[in-house]
Structure 1
Amino acid sequence: MDYLLSQRAGLGDSSFYVYNETLIQSNIEQFKSVPYRNFGIHFASMANDNPVLLKMLQANGFGIFVNSRKHMKLALDCGFSPELIIFASTGICEPTMRLIIEKGVQINIDSRDQLKLYGKLNPGGEIGIRLNIDEKSKNNIFTGLESRIGVLESELPEIFAIADRHQLKITGTHVYLGTDVTSLDDLLEGVDRTLALSNRFADLECVDLGGGFPIDKSRFDFEQYKQIITDRMVQYSSARGRDIKLVLEPGRSMFGNCAYFFTQVSDIKERPDRILVCCDSSASLIPRAMFYEDYNPVEVYNSRSTEWYSKPVDVVGSTTYSRDFMAKGLKLPVVRVGDWLKFDFAGSYCYSMITRFLGQAMPPEYLQRLDGSFELIRAGESYFDQNVSMWTSEEIASGETHRHKIKKVIYSGESQHHKLEILETESYGIGLFLDGRIQHLEKDEYIYSESIIHPVASGLKGDNLNALVVGGGPGGAIRELLKHRRFAHITQVEIDAGIITLTKQYLPHIAQGYHDDERVNIVIDDIVSFARETTQRYDFIIYDISEPLSDSPAANLFTESLICNLKDILTEQGALVTWAGSIGPLSSELAKKINQLWKKVFPYTERFMSHPQSYGTSWLTVAGSNAYLGLSELSREAIDDYCEQNIDGALKLYDGMTHQHMFALPKDVRSLLDDDYITTKSDIISHQINPAREEYI
């Protein structure tokens, strides 16, 4: 969470919602645990209309309750079958009624005239009736004579007559007993009244009791409720002589306690009787209070303050609307501009009720997945640097950047080790970005993947070879390695399981199923521990990790001690290959350091270049070995023969001619790397290893 907050801090329009999948799954299981066997759950879409969340419910077998054409279309688009969609509203116009019938969606009728319209459009159809259980039930705005919704008991004779005229079959009754009902007795009183009225419907198959459950689980005993409602329905079904289906329609109780709303403090005012804390937000963005005068609980996130305000605190929006209060009368620690406020119980009737009034930018919504990563599930608006937000930008050298225009954010989250993004770029398609930097883009990842594997693998000696891939989460390097028949075993050591999961889901074209290959063993571990503890020896180690920048987890993986440990687990004829970063007149420092480190550790080193266009610069790759391999001297014919005899599958880049060109480094590159570099056999110089193994990078 801290990483997500740091990314949004100071942006302007910094407010956002974040949902917790663990809490959502807990609520899903709670409702699924009702023991009554003929039971359905239909989530009330008015509470939250985020498609990602709706698809989670659909995948768990839930139905959905809608009251508009827009939400009916949304439900169908999210995969809900028509028979699992219940449409109930008031004053449904004829075009909408026709559309409901055409789509095969269930409908609950609210009035006599609505029933006549339905009968005219769909004679012989099946429907439900929305009941108003009148003044005998607990009095609130949802029931009784003051309510505008539903059919009164006194209107039922005419309802039955209209149904008979149009040969309609009334198979369901539908009620809504209130909102945030905490009294089990009050709720059951309404249930009993509903069942009593439902006795008047001869063809009854279903009773829909709506929702009304509170967000705060501590205020309502759902375990007791589900057992009582099950007993009631078993008794009722027995009395009716057939199983009557029970439907519940949770709204706020499904997501309400599963989300928070975050916003930054932008100003503090002191008044004689209170403190005003102003936020980069507005009540229009978390508007329950504007409708219900019911404020969300608020706390200062990760407050380090030891002082508390002696006066009550009101949280207000950054508008001129006099009633823009987001919370009132709070007891809070002293805050500073830039602190984050966290609003609890923000998962239902919050984002879905946002109003354009006051002109605030729509906030984004994130989902914290079960593995702790954060995924952007609905993009927000921003009126700050909007063009910049549609591009990625990487610095190649001082004063020089390389950018990609982004068409779509497919995934944005964070794991324990990285900020993870799957982005669709306009030019290069879908790709993986770690900590804001390109790792692979689909249209030219083959250049990188083939380059780090084939030039060295083709020159190794022997059969039944054993390979170790360090990192390599996306799988391109392993995909290429598996094309060589000579490799019998491949171990992948990847510290971040989130990368493997993410790329398996979103980038299957890169991995091409290597996870299921019997030759591959995937180990989730850090390479420092693995290299120290393994008893295996490897013919080929591929260092396929992110750049060792100062703020990157990879910064600790290019030390002399670790590279020496990896050298020690190589076979006598083995080699360790790594990319060394960009190489050019203005961007060679990292490549020079890695090249020097390899020359310091290994008796023999060789270097070659590749040119992945999506990176915006040429890249250097360095191979270190315990024995002389002579990779640069392999002929075009020898490589072509090797590929024909030992490689299965097509290669887009690599062949004999490409191999020779890769090792033919330009003069300026040779000069950057080593002033005495010459392109003859004598260039493969034997180096003495420093036994002190000092840290180098």
Structure 2
Amino acid sequence: MKQPFEPERLLHVARTFGTPTYVYSEAVVRRQIDRLRTHLAGLPLRLLYAMKANASPALLRLMRDEGLGIDAVSPGELEVALRTGFPPDRILFSANNMTDEEMHLAHGKGVLLNIGELSRLERYGRAYPGAEVCVRLNPQVGAGHHEHVITAGERSKFGIPVARLDEVRAVVARHGLRLVGLHQHIGSGILSAEVLWQAVRVLLDAARSFSGLRFLNFGGGLGIPYRPDEAPLDFDRFQQLIVDPLRAYLAEHPSKGMACWFEPGRFLVAEAGVLLMRVNTLKEANGRWFAGTDSGMSHLVRPAIYGAYHALFNLSNPAGPLRTYDVVGNICESADHFARDREVQEIREGDVLAVLDAGAYGMSMASHYNLRALPAEVFLPAGPEAPPVLLRRRRTPQEVAEAWLAETTAGTAP
């Protein structure tokens, strides 16, 4: 059974701050950054954190202090990145189906735009002739843990098809744009170096005919093993298939000094996050045991929309015998399951469960559905003696109602 990080500290967090609560481990994030840098050693490298995975300011500041940049996909993300101390030259703005207002905002902030539509590239060139730009290509290779997270291929809305590179060149030339980077991103949760290499090879071929490039951005998508039968990404194979050929490619490319950019999100923060929840109801019905909790799909929607697997661990009864449960939430939806037919250490009402690998696309996709409060968020600094830090407190039902009413024009009864 997969073990959580620092289970005693997690129990202490639950006792101190209550549940439901997201907990983020500084030590695990730094470990993942070190792992990635180690296996990309020898490349002229820049890492951009894909902040859509988790935009907690505490994690952003950690990434900033580690020297990472930011992959921002919305004006809100851009503003938060700037306000948490990332300089504009360490931010890439990659909004999808960008509006004119978003384009002008990002350019005015001094960040580099990454554009994946020919019509937007044309509008950018007309508005800012001579400006620097990055272009997102669709390498016609897509992959990911679910069809909803595949971001390239023939049915994808993302990027300019690589077959239309001549049109990219024409727009760039017409407006005197300075094409400084080419970008791709094929999907999320990828555990195969061979799949990644298929897309990398397409981008390398596309870049051969360009000079003056400062970087090639190979996107993110590096996965972590959620299921017990999944193996982690084989970094030895990754180095053999991708890193070593990249070194040789850079040595002979006409754009001297060109760097390699990667945009990890999930890989850096998924294993660093745990959702703590308390079991309040045990119910037997039709031969099934349901363990009902004080959290739900409004806090972690991945199982409902992707069928995603998250390991569960009973922090209150770690040595208990394994029993089979449906672990469910408090939302009025039949999809509100954390797990079905899952073996967990024997659960008792009042036990604290940890949902593992929840640091990516957990809180960032959470909502107030059913007008439930968002979870609290807590940061665990590295070192067992460092006290946990409350990042976000949990609102009371009264505060949720007050905020909801205050934010709507019809909030006050006539």
What interval of TM-score do these two structures reach, taking the shorter chain for normalisation? Answer: 0.7 to 0.9
- Asked if 2 retains the 8 angstrom alpha-carbon contact of 1:47 and 1:252, the reply is yes
* Per-residue deviation, 1:243: 2.8
Taking the aligned partners of 1:236 and 1:259, their CA distance within structure 2 comes to 37
Taking the aligned partners of 1:48 and 1:244, their CA distance within structure 2 comes to 29
* Per-residue deviation, 1:152: 0.7
* Residue 175 of structure 2 corresponds to residue 163 of structure 1: no
Partner amino acid, structure 2, of 1:374? P
* Residue 122 of structure 2 corresponds to residue 116 of structure 1: yes
* Residue 304 of structure 2 corresponds to residue 299 of structure 1: no
- Counterparts of residues 95-494 of structure 1 (less than 5 Å): 95-134=101-140, 141-216=150-225, 218-226=231-239, 228-241=241-254, 242-303=256-317, 306-309=320-323, 312-372=324-384, 373-383=386-396
* Residue 98 of structure 2 corresponds to residue 86 of structure 1: no
SS in 1 for 2:221: coil
- Asked if 2 retains the 8 angstrom alpha-carbon contact of 1:233 and 1:244, the reply is no
For residues 377 and 333 of structure 1, do their structure 2 counterparts lie closer, same or farther at Cα, with a shift above 3 Å needed?
closer
Which structure ranks higher in relative contact order (CA pairs < 8 Å, sequence separation ≥ 6)?
A: 2
Give the paired residue count: 380
Partner amino acid, structure 2, of 1:145? E
| 1:67 aligned partner | 73
| 1:22 aligned partner | 27
- Asked if 1 retains the 8 angstrom alpha-carbon contact of 2:58 and 2:379, the reply is no
Taking the aligned partners of 1:247 and 1:59, their CA distance within structure 2 comes to 18
Tell me the TM-score normalised to structure 2 length: 0.86
* Per-residue deviation, 1:7: 2.6
Moved more, 189-198 or 72-81: 189-198
For residues 305 and 208 of structure 1, do their structure 2 counterparts lie closer, same or farther at Cα, with a shift above 3 Å needed?
closer
Partner amino acid, structure 2, of 1:148? K
* Per-residue deviation, 1:205: 2.2
Taking the aligned partners of 1:50 and 1:79, their CA distance within structure 2 comes to 13
Partner amino acid, structure 2, of 1:322? S
SS in 1 for 2:369: coil
Taking the aligned partners of 2:17 and 2:196, their CA distance within structure 1 comes to 43
Structure 2, unaligned runs of 5 or more: 1-8, 400-414
- Counterparts of residues 475-624 of structure 1 (less than 5 Å): none
Compare CA radii of gyration and give the structure with the larger one: 1
| 2:405 aligned partner | none
Partner deviation per Cα, 1:575-633 (whole Å, 9 max, x = no partner): xxxxxxxxxxxxxxxxxxxxxxxxxxxxxxxxxxxxxxxxxxxxxxxxxxxxxxxxxxx
For residues 60 and 209 of structure 1, do their structure 2 counterparts lie closer, same or farther at Cα, with a shift above 3 Å needed?
same
Taking the aligned partners of 1:304 and 1:244, their CA distance within structure 2 comes to 51
Taking the aligned partners of 2:319 and 2:391, their CA distance within structure 1 comes to 33
- Asked if 2 retains the 8 angstrom alpha-carbon contact of 1:300 and 1:342, the reply is yes
Partner amino acid, structure 2, of 1:175? Q
Taking the aligned partners of 1:4 and 1:157, their CA distance within structure 2 comes to 56
Taking the aligned partners of 2:27 and 2:12, their CA distance within structure 1 comes to 19
Taking the aligned partners of 2:272 and 2:231, their CA distance within structure 1 comes to 15
Partner deviation per Cα, 1:101-159 (whole Å, 9 max, x = no partner): 11110111111110111111210011111000125x66963221111110012322222
Taking the aligned partners of 1:42 and 1:26, their CA distance within structure 2 comes to 16
Partner deviation per Cα, 1:48-99 (whole Å, 9 max, x = no partner): 1001110111111100101000000111111111111001122211111111
Partner amino acid, structure 2, of 1:74? V
| 1:412 aligned partner | none
- Asked if 2 retains the 8 angstrom alpha-carbon contact of 1:361 and 1:380, the reply is no
Partner deviation per Cα, 1:157-208 (whole Å, 9 max, x = no partner): 2221111111011121111122211111111121112211222333322110
Taking the aligned partners of 1:175 and 1:94, their CA distance within structure 2 comes to 22
- Asked if 2 retains the 8 angstrom alpha-carbon contact of 1:305 and 1:335, the reply is no
SS in 2 for 1:284: coil
- Asked if 2 retains the 8 angstrom alpha-carbon contact of 1:279 and 1:315, the reply is yes
For residues 193 and 253 of structure 1, do their structure 2 counterparts lie closer, same or farther at Cα, with a shift above 3 Å needed?
same
Partner amino acid, structure 1, of 2:46? G
Taking the aligned partners of 1:55 and 1:8, their CA distance within structure 2 comes to 23
Taking the aligned partners of 2:318 and 2:160, their CA distance within structure 1 comes to 56
Taking the aligned partners of 2:318 and 2:188, their CA distance within structure 1 comes to 37
Taking the aligned partners of 2:17 and 2:394, their CA distance within structure 1 comes to 13
For residues 240 and 261 of structure 1, do their structure 2 counterparts lie closer, same or farther at Cα, with a shift above 3 Å needed?
same
For residues 306 and 57 of structure 1, do their structure 2 counterparts lie closer, same or farther at Cα, with a shift above 3 Å needed?
closer
SS in 2 for 1:42: strand
Partner amino acid, structure 2, of 1:156? L
Partner amino acid, structure 2, of 1:380? R
SS in 2 for 1:332: strand
Taking the aligned partners of 1:279 and 1:162, their CA distance within structure 2 comes to 55
| 1:665 aligned partner | none
| 1:436 aligned partner | none
For residues 73 and 265 of structure 1, do their structure 2 counterparts lie closer, same or farther at Cα, with a shift above 3 Å needed?
same
Taking the aligned partners of 1:263 and 1:201, their CA distance within structure 2 comes to 53
Partner amino acid, structure 2, of 1:191? V
Tell me the TM-score normalised to structure 1 length: 0.52
Partner deviation per Cα, 1:334-385 (whole Å, 9 max, x = no partner): 3221101110001111111102222221111111112223333421333269
| 2:403 aligned partner | none
Partner deviation per Cα, 1:24-67 (whole Å, 9 max, x = no partner): 11112122322134110000010010011101111111001010
- Asked if 1 retains the 8 angstrom alpha-carbon contact of 2:316 and 2:353, the reply is no
- Asked if 1 retains the 8 angstrom alpha-carbon contact of 2:143 and 2:151, the reply is no
SS in 1 for 2:53: coil
Taking the aligned partners of 1:214 and 1:271, their CA distance within structure 2 comes to 37
Partner amino acid, structure 2, of 1:267? T
- Asked if 1 retains the 8 angstrom alpha-carbon contact of 2:192 and 2:234, the reply is no
Taking the aligned partners of 1:128 and 1:360, their CA distance within structure 2 comes to 41
* Residue 62 of structure 2 corresponds to residue 48 of structure 1: no
Q: What is the root-mean-square deviation in Å for CA atoms of aligned residues? A: 2.1
- Asked if 2 retains the 8 angstrom alpha-carbon contact of 1:284 and 1:290, the reply is no
* Per-residue deviation, 1:4: 2.5
Taking the aligned partners of 1:304 and 1:184, their CA distance within structure 2 comes to 35
- Asked if 2 retains the 8 angstrom alpha-carbon contact of 1:130 and 1:175, the reply is yes
Partner deviation per Cα, 1:263-285 (whole Å, 9 max, x = no partner): 00010111224211100111110
- Asked if 2 retains the 8 angstrom alpha-carbon contact of 1:367 and 1:374, the reply is no
